[in-house]
Amino acid sequence: MEKQRADEIITEYFQKMYGFAIKKCYSYEEAEELCAEIVQKVYLSLLRAKEVINVEGYIWRISEHTYARYVSTRKKQEGISIDGMEIPVYDEYALEDSDEESKKLRREIAFLTEKRRRIVYDFYYKNKLISEIAREMGLPEGTVKWHLNKARNELKEGFSMERRIGKLGLTPITAVEVGHDGRPGMKGGPEFYLEDKMNLNIVYSVYHKPRTKVEIAEEMGMTLVYLEDRIDFLEGNGFLVRTTGNRYTTFVNFTPEEYSYELYEKKVKDQLQIAESLVKEYVPLVRAAVRDMKDIYIPGGNRELMEAAAVYYGISHKCGIWSDKDLSRYFVQTTDGGSYIVTVNLNAVRSDPDYVPTLDIPPYWACGDMNRMSCKYPSVYGWSVDTRYCSREGTWENNLTSDYEALYEFVGGMIHDDIVSKDKIQRLRERKFLTEDNAVNIMMVKGTAEHFFGEIPELDNAVRDKFAHLALEYAVNAARGYPPQMQDLIISQSTGSFIGNTVALMGMDILYRNGTFKPLTENERVTSNLIMFCDELPGEKE
């Protein structure tokens, strides 16, 4: 096998090999020693192999064989009793436990917290004095004695009980999509933390019911020794929140695993009614407000593009029914600088499969608002919302501040279509911000976003109040499917977004369908609901 492929396999399976070693050993030192031997054996074997069909099975067999050889080199020791229970030190490395009691005791030690595991191991396995353990761990001797006593009690309790694998240990959840509302960190959005299925399920394990570390491990059907570092990592990055009794909860929003299509369809009907009303009573005011704006560049000259963007922004931002509820606790604050509300969409089944739909509902998906502010050029600002009316790809991850900075440099003559600026020009063409003949292909406004959007009128409160009861009714119904700690967020979001991106998209559907706006060309779809603000427009220096 080629070295590159062997390296890839080692990288992919290293965590599983380490997990195998952890489960076989009682200390991290021994686990690391065993893991190192396994990795060496697997790597050398892969280099000698021509082809491996079942990689995981191949690695598992080598791991078991390496472990067996590791056992044979170890001196067997005598067992030590904890209040009449034999700790099977002599059998510590046997491939199979000598009896059922040994298996149970091994399991219960693994369910202890890291601090208590270490104290039990040092006191019973290494025969260290209380004073020595206290000194090495930087704890008072009384605290070490207390932990040792608690460990004995926990072992007795766990030894006599029947542990059951929790739901997530048998049927772990899988995310359909992980989204966020807020500022990503240096490592990206919440996907960095939750794309790992084990991390995702740890967070979900405390969603409906607060749990201790031990209870999380039981729900996951795993030993705490394998999960504790992950739990600490997720707590340190805000995905787990410690509550009373050293239990954890979370403010990550997991969508329900059941939904009522009848209720969803009722919501859509109410929103369509609102969209029709806004097109008649509010849209004309928005179009009038932006109709005579100056210092605007529109590729192709179709001012309807600008009016459509203003209408979308007006409906999604100036017509909402927002509450004053403090939602700060729902923002996950990560160590890489992220600050966002997290939503995890789960697979959901209908709770009313016999209900017959009465509407043909198109996708009302939107990614935005995406605001891009430049530190390099303070006047540069990008606003966009991706919908089915635009042809842009990659959503927020492909919407880079550097794109707007490069376009600003091109418009201002700081870069040209030459070898020096080849990468920047190529990127602008890939996004179709520049055409092949170097024409700017997105809307630009000379001035600030604050001024432009400030000209768009607010919805009259009398009109807004006509829809408030529909939004509140939906929000209360939606919140019933969520655990108590999430209900403030769900009610606030459901009320506030009831007249939001979906109704704005419905409004665009009406305006394009009834001929108020002409159908978009392919070039116009590049800049649909995308505006760049700066202090210079294309052609001003010519």
Q: Measured on CA atoms in the order 520, 525, 529, 535, is the torsion positive or negative?
A: negative
Of the two residues 159 and 80, the one the predictor is more confident about is 159
Q: What is the pTM of this model?
A: 0.61
Examine residue 417 and say whether the peptide bond preceding it is cis (omega within 30 degrees of 0).
no
Please give the CATH number for the structural domain made up of 1-74.
Answer: 1.10.1740.10
Question: In angstroms, rounded to a whole number, what is the distance separating the alpha carbons of residues 327 and 76?
Answer: 58
Question: In angstroms, rounded to a whole number, what is the distance separating the alpha carbons of residues 133 and 319?
Answer: 64
Q: Where in the chain is the domain with CATH 1.10.10.10?
A: 167-250
Query: Which single residue is written with the structure tokens 């990795």?
Result: 39
* Residue 115's pLDDT band (cuts 50, 70, 90): confident
* Residue 93's pLDDT band (cuts 50, 70, 90): very low
Query: Which single residue is written with the structure tokens 């700081």?
Result: 414
Grouping H, G, I as helix, E, B as strand and the rest as coil, residue 162 is coil
DSSP string, 166-188: -HHHHS---EEEEEEEEE-BTTB
376-430 confidence digits (pLDDT tens): 999 999 999 999 999 999 998 999 999 999 999 999 999 999 999 999 999 999 9
Residues 78-87: contacts with CB under 8 Å, at least 24 apart: 80/124, 80/125, 82/120, 82/124, 82/152, 82/155, 83/152, 83/156, 85/155, 85/156, 85/159, 87/124, 87/125
pLDDT at 81 over 50: no
Instruction: Name the residue type at position 392.
Output: R
Beta strand extents in 319-424 (DSSP E only):
331-333, 339-346, 349-350, 367-373, 381-386
pLDDT at 531 over 60: yes
Among 178, 214, 230, 204, smallest CA distance to 15 is for: 230
pLDDT at 107 over 70: no
Residues 296, 534 contacting (CB under 8 angstroms): no
φ/ψ region of 528 (left if φ > 0, alpha if ψ in -120 to 50, else beta) reads beta
- Among 3.40.50.1980, 1.10.10.10, 3.30.70.60, 1.10.3720.10, name the CATH number for the domain at 167-250: 1.10.10.10
In this prediction, residues 513-524 reach a mean pLDDT of 96
Residues 356, 263 contacting (CB under 8 angstroms): no
What is the predicted pLDDT for the residue at 501? 94
